[in-house]
Amino acid sequence: MTLQEYDYARESPSKLAASCLLLALTMKNLGGWTPTLEYYSGYSAQDLHPLVKRLNFLLTYQPRDKLNTVRSKYSHRVFFEVAKLTPMDMLKLEKALTSC
């Protein structure tokens, strides 16, 4: 989704990938940002919090009428229908991020 948004072009690819992973872990209740993830990514959870919130906002308030190719691709069973996942409530996300 971020490939279609100019605002995310200035983010480093590694930070964007790490933030997406942290958001996915949080959305699926699979744990938080571990010391191993911090070591290999080079980012602490606190470094990623602002971008994770922006990513969740992008998922929540994305335009539905244009650029649907990515959404339709990742709505397929082959990709585990990840595009159909419900974004997190911003308050719940904030609470989950402060605990990790």
Give residue 77's domain range. Answer: 2-99
The pLDDT tens digits for 10-54 are: 999 999 999 999 999 999 999 889 999 999 999 999 999 999 999
Question: Taking the CA of residue 89 as centre, how many other CA atoms within 13 Å lie in the half-sphere pointing to its CB?
Answer: 3
State the pLDDT at residue 1: 80
The pLDDT tens digits for 72-91 are: 888 899 988 888 888 899 99
| Whole-prediction pTM | 0.85
Closest CA to 1 of 53, 49, 50, 72: 72
CATH code for the domain in which residue 25 is found: 1.10.472.10
Q: Please give the tally of structural domains in the chain.
A: 1
